[in-house]
Amino acid sequence: MTIQNTKNLRKQIAPFEQSTTKESIWQIINTIGPFLILWYLAYMSLSVSYWLTLIPAILAAGFLTRIFIIFHDCTHHSFFKNRRANRIVGTCMGVLTLFPFDQWGHEHSVHHATSGNLDKRGTGDIWTLTVDEYLAAPLKLRFAYRFYRNPLVMFGLGPIYVFLLKNRFNRKGARKKEKMNTYLTNALIAVLVVLLCLAVGWQSFLLVQGTIFMISGSVGIWLFYVQHTFEDSYFEENEEWEYVLAAVEGSSFYKLPKLMQFLTGNIGYHHVHHLSPRVPNYKLEMAHNNTEPLENVPTITLATSLQSLRFRLWDEENKNFVSFKDIKYITKKSVPVQVKSEL
């Protein structure tokens, strides 16, 4: 893709960057409303059987994922035209999804600005080592990386660590405004939890919200993982890295069934989102369908996305992801490399 083509591509996306207040408000209604109803049904069904509770809980987890997408759009200031409206709604959605608005907004902005850049890994992304880095790493670091990349850890312990623990603390170097937003979010979460425990009992609260949280948390991490971890993704050293190429080649088009596309807020059109974070989620599909160069972006389906579970390391020489087993057949280079660890 030439420089002229990348400029034209961004121009073609520009008309879809305007949010529509009516559509944004309607999305809040058709997301929060069903979530609250399903949460209540899950609670009521506990008196019959926990197995029955799983039905509304799974659906509620889908709507909680959709709530996160609203939060996500607000951090990009793409959900409303007014920045203050984005901040207020985003902070409220952050309470429901356990994410501080400013803290995550900062990390996610860094992710967008550095996605696929091998020299700028470590903030707001999935920990990824190259083959050479892994082969040169000490045994302790290899073990830590394998532990981190284990699906049970990433999609099981991951939500607990990130949502419940990491998000409760401010990052080093955070400004006062960001710190205060984290404190406010934590306080509101605590108040909400106490009120719900008083209303339904702490056991019922844990059974209902705990189930919803684990399902939606795992789905959220899976979506983030699979949309950047597919075989022929995009990673380059800083000198060769290019924003538009990182967006259209390093972010997948995750083609999902319509119901799942609805519950995940169209985030499967991740290439469009990375190309322009200002496009609200309800216009991502429209932008994709009306931008001809995007017809040939990397596309994955539910079935093919499962292959990403075996991808562990980036092979710089062949420009693709490989598994741990694959490196047995890759000759270790003699040139020393600097290992990039998780920050």
Write out residues in the chain with pLDDT < 50, as ranges.
2-3, 333-335, 343
Distances in whole angstroms, Cα of residue 69 to Cα of each of 31, 73, 75: 10, 6, 10
Residue 109 lies in a domain: yes
Planar angle of CA 128, 111, 169, nearest 5 degrees: 90
Tell me how far apart the alpha carbons of residues 60 and 69 are, in angstroms, rounded to a whole number. Answer: 14
Residue 249 lies in a domain: yes
Contact residues for 297 (Cβ-Cβ < 8 A; gap 6+): 248, 249, 252, 253, 271
Q: Which helix (H) or strand (E) holds 67?
A: helix 50-75
Tell me how far apart the alpha carbons of residues 230 and 305 are, in angstroms, rounded to a whole number. Answer: 8
* Whole-number pLDDT of residue 5: 61
> pLDDT of 95-149, one tens digit each?
999 999 999 999 999 999 999 999 999 898 999 999 999 999 999 999 999 999 9
152 class by beta-carbon count within 10 Å (0-12 exposed, 13-18 middle, 19+ buried): exposed
* Whole-number pLDDT of residue 232: 87
Domain that holds residue 195: 3-315
Residue 338 lies in a domain: no
Global confidence as pTM: 0.91
* Whole-number pLDDT of residue 3: 47
185 backbone φψ class: left, alpha, beta (φ>0; ψ -120 to 50): alpha
CB atoms near residue 83 (< 10 Å):
10
> pLDDT of 295-312, one tens digit each?
788 899 999 999 999 999
* Whole-number pLDDT of residue 295: 79
* Whole-number pLDDT of residue 8: 82
Residue 282 lies in a domain: yes
* Whole-number pLDDT of residue 268: 95
Residue 94 lies in a domain: yes
* Whole-number pLDDT of residue 297: 85
Residue 133 lies in a domain: yes
Residue 342 lies in a domain: no
* Whole-number pLDDT of residue 293: 85
Number of folded domains that form the chain: 1
* Whole-number pLDDT of residue 141: 96
